Each structure stands twice: as C-alpha cells, then as structure tokens.
Chains A and B, each alone.
Chain A
C-alpha cells in the first residue's frame, strides 16, 4: 500500500492523468481521478464508461491517459475491466505476461448513470465474480454528459432536465439510491465513500490506496459536485463537497468485508441541510414556501441515515 504522505509530496507524484482535457472548469471528476490513479505506484489498466470523463479525455487523436486505458460503452466498464483482469490471470498462468517485473492494478471509472443505472448489472456481475479491481463511481447525481437528466443517484427535490421544477413539480420525487450499501452487500472486501478537495483529499487518497492494495473487488463512491448541473460557481466545487460532508448529506465512511463499518470523518457540529441545498441552483425552488416540506424531508433523511451509520459503527457487526 502506497504511503500517501503530505499534500506536497502527493501533489509531486508524476501525472498519470494529464491536464488539457476538456472537462468543465471546476469539474470534480479530474480531482478524483488524479488522486485515485496516483494512489498506487503500481502500473494501471483503467477502463472508463461512456460519460463526461470519457468524452473529455479521449478525443482522437489526443488522450489524457498516461496509463493503459480502455473505453467500450456506457454500461460495461466493469465487464471490460473483468476481461482485462481475466487476461492478466491467463497470461500469468501461461508465463506470457508482457512485463514480468511490473505489478498491474485494474481500475474502472463510471459516472452515476454508468454505475447506479445502466452499468449496475455489469458492476454487480464483475463484483460477484470476485475480479481483482477497483471501481470508482464519479457520482455527480445526474446524467451530466447528456445535459443533466435525473439518475437514480439524483436526490429528492433536485431540478434536472427530466425532473424539472415547475408550477406543479418540486423536481425529483425519489430519494437517492444507496449504492454504497448495495455494493457492501455484495460482500466486497472494501467499500468506501469519498469526496474531492483540500479538506478530505487524504481521506480519498488513502481509501484509494487501501482499495488498490486489497485483493478482490473494491468500490469507492466519490461525490463529484457538478458546477454545470448543480448550478454553483466553478470555484466553489471544493466548498460544496465539504458542505456535503459537514451536513452529513454525503457522510464519509468505509465498510470492510461487507459488514465492518467505520466512519472516517465526523463533523464537529452537523450543519443544517439548508446550508448545502441553498448553495446550489438545482435546489433553489425548494426554498419557496410550498416546497419547504421537501427540505424538512431532506433533513429527516440525513439525520436518520447519520444515526444509522453511527449505530452500525458502534455495533461493530
């Protein structure tokens, strides 16, 4: 497992994910990806689902990837990396590895569309089969690449282009699907949540390092605040991510062996959810009197989930 060290040291790691890509200014994807690919000194093969990350980093004849990289489609990043990993095992058994002296790790990236929704079957299958890989969900809570439609990661009340606020609508009606727990229920040896940024950068890097040094399927659900669709200023990305943690809208925790839950960051004082929702244009309509109940519902959900996590951690079962 790579020792992450301090930020200065970590920031000096040679880039495996190059700048000059076409992601939006202020996009959290690139922050998360850089941390993950630099969280190991081993070689990497990366598979990426169709989505913002893929279309912005692999436009022929350019590539942002200084590691072996493959994209096939929207719903099959996990199946693709399972094939790569299977080939590695086959060639290893047959003494035909290309670089005997290198250790190789396998990573897949998908957005919430490619992970929670259309790619969930292939992720579940690859996980159940026990392939040795890390899957990182870049969860920006909507189909940002196609213009901000809802996904099953979209939280209640959010305005998206397919759940617009309107005269008779408060936006998204469903609560966010709890994919992290679903992945833990697969019995993965390691599952975690993470956010990008300056405050919790090390939490993310350490979780990635831990996942990459764990044998078997591992999963990190990384919240990726989306300046374009959440509607905040590009320079506020890190602040929004921090608020998600401080309000417990997106708590930081890890689960080992499918059950052992550890909260990795505990806000000193939980901030009311309005502070998080109020900073994002996608929730602006919730502050109208007729929609206030949605904010109350949000707070209730957040409180209940935070309570659940703490009780589960205490129980240690």
Chain B
C-alpha cells in the first residue's frame, strides 16, 4: 500500500510536478515511459515517488517511446490503470501505437508537454506534437497552467475509463511555459483525488485468463469501417461525458471547466480563438483592447478532440470577425484551428470574417502587445465588414513580412 503524501492546501508546483502528483494520486498500476525534454521531470518525479514508497504500481523504464506506448497498450489490455508522459519527438515515435491504443479502446492517460517537432531540432514549446496526434483517435484536453495540468490529468482518468468512452486521453501543457513555470496549485488530498477518479473498471482484461480474449484482431474490408465508425462515435459522444466529469469536478473543487472556454465573449464584436498558455496572455491583451474601446472576446476549445464545433459556433454566434491563432506550422494550409472554426461556423450557417495567425513556433515569445496588434487588425476586418488584412499572418516572425492571401 502506497504511503499518503502530505499536501498543503496550496502548493507551488510547475506543470510537470502537478501532472506527476495527479498520476500518483490516481494510483496508476503501470507507468511505462521514456524521458524527453520538457516532460522528463514528470517521470523523474514519479520515480522518486516510487523510491519513497508513495507509489506501489510498476514503473517500466522502456528503451524508447515506441515501446513506452506499446507497453502501455499491453498493460492497459492486461486490465489496470495506465499512464505515461512524453513530448515532441517521443510523441512522434509513438504515433503508430497511439492509433493502436485508441483502436483497441484502451483508456490510457498521457501527459503531453507540448514541444516543437524537428527539424531543426528545438526543445521549446509549440503544438506540433498535439497537431500530429490530431487524428489518432485520442481525446486531447488542453491545460493552460499548472493548476489546470493537475485538474485535467485527474479528469482525464475519469473520462478515459468511463464505459461510454473507453478511449485514451492526452492532457496537453505548453513546454516550459507551463511545464517548468511554478505557480500556486491547490491540490486535492490523496483520498479525495482517488475517490473522484474511482477504482479502475476492467473490460475484457487479458489477465482474466479463465476467460481468454483476443485483443488487436485483424479486420479487412468486411469490418474495418464499422470498427472505425464506432470508435469515432465514441469520440464524438464523449463530449457529454467530459462535461459530466467537469461538472462533478466543479462540485468537488469549485473549479469550473467547459468544453469551450471563453473570456468576455458575451458582448464581443470580434473574437480570438487560441489554445494553451497564450490564452492567458491573450486575456491581458483583451483587457487592454477593451480599455481602447474594442469589444473583443476569447474562445478556447478545452477539448481539441473531440472538437466541440457546435459549442464553438455558439460562442461565436454574434461576432463579426475572428482571428484563429495556431501554434503550429500549417505546412501548406491554414492552421487547424482556423479550419475547425471555419467549419464550425459553416455548419451552423454563421458568417464572420476569418483570419489565421501562426505564432510561437519553437518557443518564440508571444506577448500581450503582439496579441493586441492581432486584435486591432481583426477589428479592422469587423469594421470593414470584409477581410482587409492578410488571410494568414505570422506573429513576431523576424525578417521580411510573411503573409498569404
């Protein structure tokens, strides 16, 4: 039996420490992980918990991220609670197995400390890894600060393991900006956190050898489509479970999370849509813009997958112009957030002038001033009633101005 960890009502934790404590409190049965910057401190902290008797599960120190996720899949299919953490190249190496984990409907929880993808090699934060796993069939939750990293990780277990969902979940936090930035976090006590998540509910466990099951069968044209459609349905319908879990979490902690977060959107003429730590920076920019008389609001999908398209559209029902900010190189297209939001508006018969901004790649700083500039440009579009700024711009990029129209 693992020892209780004495926690104060307020701790000063960075995002990695917060995630590690959430894994500890979930009493994860198997963690299989491989170190990679900037998520390394999660597994180091977890190893120390193990060494000090605060964890009594297994920690499999695999030889690669590919094996990390493979061992997670084996362990989850065996019939217990499983978690891991990674970033960037490690995430990329896992991608094959991410699809297998979700296709096998295994409720693995993974903290992704978002980092740019090489080349050029870069250890700092952007959403290259998150976007890479977009279609992998996982639920992707976004945390903007250490408190949220902790809260989302606790919620992730409950969402993943719900019998209506049974899908793996990532909780994403920006590399360094969240993972290595210490802030005040209000944790739950161990027993309250565990009680919130609940005991693991097995489904067809391999280790129930009296009832042998086959996991990871082959399907061809006769059945593959039905399996993938069923999986998609579970992902789409997980929205209601996510909301249920968020509501339950609010009752316990007073902290309210939503499928779509927003800031001052109710009376806004224009809106920015942004995910991750930049959302908090954008809040400052919104306040400043409002002092200058620009009625701007913010929107963030808390869940990147499933993408809450109707809920996003609803938030944006009354705005005239929208800027979607993507922290990922779109490589030949508009950014994913731009495309998702444009699709959400179209699906709901809404119109707004839309533009796309690429920002923060490889950890490039994005300040409130930068975002204020975006707000002003977006306001021009609103006032003109049509797009008068570039379709796709780049924030804080050096060299000659780059834009696409």
Binding site for B on A (CB under 8 A): 43-45, 47, 54-55, 58-61, 63, 65-73, 75-76, 79-84, 86-91, 93-94, 96-99, 102, 104, 121-122, 124-126, 128-129
**Contact partner, A91, options B72, B80, B96, Cβ 8 Å:** B80
For the complex of A and B, list the 7 residue pairs with the smallest distance between their C-beta atoms, beginning with the closest.
Answer: A83-B74, A125-B63, A83-B71, A43-B209, A76-B70, A79-B70, A87-B78
- A314 vs B118: C-alpha distance in the bound complex, in angstroms? 53
**Cβ of B62 and Cβ of A99 under 8 Å apart?**
no
Q: In the complex, given contacts A80-B73, A98-B205, what are 16 additional A-B residue pairs having Cβ atoms less than 8 angstroms apart?
A: A58-B214, A60-B219, A72-B97, A76-B66, A79-B67, A84-B77, A87-B75, A87-B79, A90-B58, A91-B29, A91-B79, A98-B210, A99-B210, A121-B64, A122-B64, A125-B64
Is there contact, CB below 8 Å, between A68 and B206? Answer: yes
Q: How far is the CB of A156 from the nearest CB of chain B, in Å?
A: 30
Give the residues in chain B near A94, CB-CB below 8 Å: 29, 56-57
B216 within 8 A of A: yes
Chain B residues with CB under 8 A of A97 = 207
In whole angstroms, how far apart are the Cα atoms of A66 and B212 in the complex? 6
Q: Return B92 CB to nearest CB of chain A, in Å.
A: 15
Pick the residue among B32, B96, B209, B213 that contacts A83 (CB under 8 A).
B32
Determine if A44 and B209 form an interchain contact, defined as CB atoms under 8 angstroms apart: yes
Verify A63–B210 contact, CB threshold 8 A.
no
* Residue B60 lies at the interface, judged by CB distance under 8 Å to chain A: yes
Contacts known (A68-B206, A71-B216, A102-B209); A84 close to B60, Cβ less than 8 A: no
Asked if B29 contacts A90 (CB within 8 A), the reply is yes
Q: Chain B CB within 10 Å — which of A55, A71, A83, A104 has the most?
A: A83
User: Which residue in chain B gives the minimum CB-CB distance to A128?
Assistant: B63
CB distance from A92 to the nearest CB of B (A): 10
Q: Identify B73's interface contact among A59, A61, A72, A128, CB under 8 A.
A: A72
Are B217's CB and A71's CB within 8 A? yes
Interface string of B44-69 (1 = CB under 8 A from A): 00000000000011101111101100
- B198-230 interface code vs A (CB 8 A; 1 in, 0 out): 000010011111101111111110010001000
The docked-state distance in angstroms from the alpha carbon of A73 to that of B216 is 9
**Is the C-beta of B258 less than 8 angstroms from some C-beta in chain A?**
no
The answer to whether B71 and A68 touch across the interface, beta carbons within 8 angstroms, is no
Which label, helix, strand, loop or mixed, suits the secondary structure of the A interface? Answer: mixed
Q: A72 and B100: CB pair below 8 A? A: yes
Q: Say whether B30 faces chain A, with CB atoms less than 8 Å apart.
A: yes
A/B interface sample: 5 pairs, CB < 8 A:
A60-B223, A76-B97, A80-B74, A94-B29, A99-B209
Taking CB atoms, residues of chain A closer than 8 Å to B212 are 65-69
**Is the Cβ of A88 less than 8 Å from the Cβ of B207?**
yes
A71 to chain B, nearest CB (A): 4
Of chain A, the residue at the smallest CB distance from B68 is A79
Task: Please give me the residue from chain B that is nearest to A55 by CB atom.
Answer: B218
Contacts A70-B74, A87-B74 given; indicate if A98 touches B207 (C-beta within 8 A). yes
- Given known pairs A45-B78, A68-B209, the reply for A125 and B58 (CB within 8 Å) is no
B75 near A84 with CB under 8 A, answer yes
**Alpha-carbon gap, A126 to B32, bound state (A):** 12
Q: How far is the CA of A184 from the CA of B63 in the complex (A)?
A: 19
What are the residues of chain A within 8 A of B62 when measuring CB–CB? Answer: 79, 82, 125, 129
Q: Smallest CB-CB separation from B31: which chain A residue?
A: A86
Of all chain B residues, the one with the shortest Cβ separation from A82 is: B71
Contact A73–B97 (Cβ < 8 Å): yes
Cα–Cα, bound, A91→B227 (Å): 30
Q: Given known contacts A82-B71, A83-B32, is B206 in contact with A122 (CB within 8 Å)?
A: no
B79→A45 contact, CB < 8 A: no
Assess the A83–B60 pair: CB atoms within 8 A. yes
- Bound Cα distance A102, B282 (Å): 58
In the complex, the answer to whether A86 meets B206 with C-beta atoms within 8 Å is no
B residues 11-29 in Cβ contact with A at 8 Å: 29
Q: Which residues of B contact A102 (CB under 8 A)?
A: 209-210
A196 vs B207: C-alpha distance in the bound complex, in angstroms? 29
Cα distance A44–B214 when bound, in Å?
12
Residues of B within 8 A of A47 (CB): 74
Q: Are A72 and B67 in contact (CB under 8 A)?
A: no
Residue contact B214 to A69, C-beta cutoff 8 Å: yes
- Residues on B with C-beta less than 8 A from A45 are 78, 206-207, 209
- In whole angstroms, how far apart are the Cα atoms of A70 and B96 in the complex? 16
How distant is the Cα of A54 from the Cα of B213 in the complex, in angstroms? 15
Cβ contact of B207, chosen from A69, A75, A91, cutoff 8 A:
A91
B79-122 CB contacts (< 8 Å) to partner A: 79-80, 82, 96-97, 100, 104
> If the complex has contacts A87-B78, A87-B207, A129-B60, are A60 and B32 also in contact, measured as CB distance less than 8 A?
no
Question: A64: nearest residue on chain B (CB-CB)?
Answer: B214
Closest chain-B Cβ to A61's Cβ sits at a distance in Å of 7
- CA gap between A73 and B103 in the complex, in Å: 12
Complex Cα spacing A243 to B152, Å? 62
> A98 with B216: in contact, given A73-B96, A84-B74, A87-B75 (CB under 8 Å)?
no
**Could you tell me if B206 and A84 are in contact, using CB atoms closer than 8 angstroms?**
yes
Query: Are A59's CB and B96's CB within 8 A?
Result: no
Residues of B contacting A81 in the complex (Cβ-Cβ under 8 angstroms): 74
| Given A72-B97, A82-B71, A94-B29: A59 touches B78 (CB 8 Å cut-off) | no
Q: How far is the CA of A54 from the CA of B217 in the complex (A)?
A: 8
Choose among B63, B70, B79 the residue that contacts A98 (Cβ–Cβ < 8 A).
B79
Residues of B332-352 whose CB lies within 8 A of A: none
Complex partner residue of B209 from A73, A91, A98, A121, CB under 8 angstroms = A98
Shortest Cβ distance from B216 into A: residue = A71
- Per the bound structure, the CA–CA distance linking A58 and B216 in Å amounts to 8
Q: How far is the CA of A44 from the CA of B212 in the complex (A)?
A: 9
Decide if A59 touches B215 in the complex (CB within 8 Å): no
